[in-house]
Homo-oligomer: A and B are copies of this chain.
Amino acid sequence: MGEFELINQYFKRDTSGSSVVLGVGDDCSLLQLPAEKQLAISVDTLLADVHFPADGDPEAIAERALCVSLSDLAAMGAKPLWFTLALTLPEANEAWVSAFSRGLFRAANTYGCELVGGDTTRGPLSISVQVMGSVEPHLAMKRSGAAVGDLLFVSGTLGDGAAALAVLNGSIKVDDESSQYLSGRYYHPEPRLALAQTLAPLASAAIDVSDGLVADLGHICKASSVAATVFVERLPLSSAILKCAATPQQYQWALSGGDDYQLCFTVAPANIAQVEQLIAAGLDATNIGEITEGKGVHCRLIDHPFEIEGTGYNHFD
């Protein structure tokens, strides 16, 4: 048995009693999609020293790789079922693989999905995860469903991913509690799957905030042929961010920082009261703006155009 076949042992788990008819170990896996559901899929590749530090903690790298992909299922309102892993490794380092598989299966358990296939090859470290989930036809939250008059919401807080990077690369200093919170947000992003299940019948469009709010909201605007206005003073910010930077920096992180993996979604007038009731009852989301005629994302701070740093523009088409 070759070293890579030994390595593959770390990725075998019992899948009996689940939707997995035939798991890892044949030419294909065989999967049973729940009746009347559509299949939602998404692929993400993470490369060492591009998307994560090559010498980073393998448990955290694995967890993050799966969670980042699951965030795409959340953005579609899909329920995770299965994933595959194409893993390229420079060497068959058993300690690394053991830790990686621990992180991977911890995240898989947390979010209820099963590893159903993959390939392990020798080469420069790279992780490609394909997630598969189920979604009720007509409940999928596409980017193209936003309409003029809809309100705009985001889940959780924004800018933590960007602030975490600034802390990690030493460009800002924060107290221990904030540092711990921010690095947790960066290394252990939480795909908003439960929130997405609640919202799927109510939201007209959704996207996950991976490249920054303005860029990602721009995709909703383009796909829906509408414009969006973001009221910058309403942006939800964590107490860590409020403590560690001045206001303009906080807003820049929240508007253009990536790696937040929150959901940005729109709600049609008929459903707004219901969403606001859910928020009043504890749903973790904030109304930050509205959908209007036109194109692009427009930011306003207390009724004045707000310029997004780096672009030189206060809108983004």
A35 to B5, CA, bound (A): 36
A29 to B142, CA, bound (A): 10
List which A36-86 residues lie within 8 A (CB) of chain B: 38-45, 47, 50-51, 72-73, 75-76, 78, 84-86
**A184 in contact (CB, < 8 A):** no
A143 to B118, CA, bound (A): 17
> B residues within 8 A CB of A44?
119
Of A123, A132, A143, chain B has the most CB atoms within 10 Å of the CB of A123
CB pair A47 B130 closer than 8 Å: no
A43 to B132, CA, bound (A): 13
> B residues within 8 A CB of A124?
123-124, 126
A137 to B45, CA, bound (A): 32
User: In the complex, what residue of chain B is closest to A216 when comparing beta carbons?
Assistant: B27
List which A192-220 residues lie within 8 A (CB) of chain B: 206-208
> B residues within 8 A CB of A128?
45, 86, 119, 128
A72 to B207, CA, bound (A): 34
> B residues within 8 A CB of A133?
28
CB contact between A47 and one of B33, B88, B132 (< 8 Å): that residue = B88
CB pair B84 A27 closer than 8 Å: no
- Given A38-B21, A140-B22, A86:B27 Cβ within 8 A: no
A91-134, CB under 8 A of B: which get 1 and which 0? 00000000000000000000000001111011110101010110
Which are the 9 A-B pairs with shortest beta-carbon distances? Answer: A27-B75, A28-B40, A86-B128, A28-B76, A31-B39, A27-B72, A47-B123, A28-B42, A45-B119
Could you tell me which A residues sit within 8 Å of B by CB distance? 21-22, 25-33, 38-45, 47, 50-51, 72-73, 75-76, 78, 84-86, 88, 116-119, 121-124, 126, 128, 130, 132-133, 135, 137, 140, 142-144, 206-208, 223
